[in-house]
A and B are shown apart, each in its own frame.
Chain A
Amino acid sequence: MAKKINLGIIGLGFIGKVHLRNCLSLKSANVVAVADVSKKALKYARELGVKRLFTDYHELLKQPDVDAVVISLPTYLHAPCAIGAAEEGKHIFLEKPLARNPEEGKKIISATRKHNVKLMIGYPLRYLIDIINLKKRIEDGELGDIQTAYAVNIGVGPFTHRAEGTIPSPVPEWWMNKESTGGGALLDLGSHMVNLLRWYLGEIRDIKVFIGYRYNLDVEDYAISIVNFISGTTATIDVGWFSQETAISIELHGTVGHASVVHRSQNRVITAIKLILGKTSKFFKPYLEELSHFVDCIKRDDDPLTSGDDALRDLEIIARAYNNSLILTNQNDYSPISS
Chain B
Amino acid sequence: MVDLLSLVGLIECKDRNVNSVKEAVKEALKLIDYSFPKTKRIVIKPNMCYYWDYSTGQTTDPNFVAALIEMFREEISPDVEISIVESDASAMKCKYAFKYLGYEKLAKKYRVNLVNLSEAESETAQVKVKDEVFEFLIPKVIKNADLRVNVPKMKYMAFTKISCALKNIFGCNPYPKKFKYHPKLDEVIVALNKVMPFDLHFLDGLIVCGSKTLKLGLIMASQDPVAMDAAAATIMSVNPKSVGHIMLARKEGLGNLSFKIKGADLNYFKAKYPKKGLSEKIVAFGYRVVCALGLDKRLI
Contacts and interface: CB of A to CB of B under 8 A. Distances in A.
Contact of B299 (A170, A216, A276): A276
Interface residues of A, number: 29
B299 A165 contact: yes
B50 interface: yes
A170 B176 CA distance: 12
B99 A336 contact: no
A48 to B, nearest CB: 9
A215 interface: yes
Contacts of B96: 171, 176
A17 interface: yes
Contacts of B125: none
- Which secondary structure characterizes the binding site on chain A? loop
B300 A336 contact: no
Interface string A133-168: 000000000000000000000000001001101011
A339 interface: yes
Interface residues of B, number: 37
B295 to A, nearest CB: 5
B56 A163 contact: no
A214 B55 CA distance: 11
B162 to A, nearest CB: 15
Interface string B9-42: 0000000011100000000000000000000000
B51 A215 contact: yes
A216 B100 contact: yes
Contacts of A163: 299-300
A335 B101 CA distance: 9
Contacts of A226: none
A276 B50 contact: no
B120 interface: no
A268 B280 CA distance: 11
A335 B102 contact: yes
A44 interface: yes
B90 interface: yes
Given A44-B297, A170-B90, A335 B105 contact: yes
B271 interface: no
Contact of A215 (B90, B100, B299): B100
B66 A336 contact: yes
B84 to A, nearest CB: 11
Given A244-B52, A269-B286, A275 B298 contact: yes
Contact of B298 (A159, A168, A269, A278): A278
Contacts of A171: 51, 91, 96
B4 interface: no
Max count, chain A CB within 10 A of own CB: residue among B17, B18, B287: B287
A14 interface: yes
Contacts of A165: 299
A167 B287 CA distance: 10
A12 B205 CA distance: 39
A276 B51 contact: no
Contact of A169 (B18, B56, B91): B91
Given A168-B91, A336-B62, A14 B300 contact: yes
Nearest to B70: A339
A337 interface: yes
Contacts of A327: none
Given A269-B286, A336-B18, A336-B62, A217 B100 contact: yes
A272 interface: yes
Given A215-B51, A268-B283, A337-B109, A162 B300 contact: yes
Interface in B186-202: none
B49 interface: yes
A339 B66 contact: yes
Contacts of A276: 290, 295, 298-299
A169 B300 contact: yes
A207 B156 CA distance: 45
Given A44-B300, A167-B299, A336-B102, 16 more contacts: A159-B50, A159-B51, A162-B299, A162-B300, A168-B92, A170-B90, A170-B92, A171-B96, A214-B53, A215-B53, A215-B100, A216-B104, A269-B283, A334-B53, A336-B65, A339-B19
Q: Which 4 A-B pairs have the closest CB atoms?
A: A339-B18, A336-B62, A168-B91, A168-B50
15 contacts: A159-B50, A162-B296, A167-B287, A168-B50, A168-B91, A216-B99, A268-B283, A269-B286, A272-B287, A275-B298, A275-B299, A335-B105, A339-B17, A339-B18, A339-B19
Interface of A: 14, 17, 44, 159, 162-163, 165, 167-171, 176, 214-217, 244, 268-269, 272, 275-276, 278, 334-337, 339
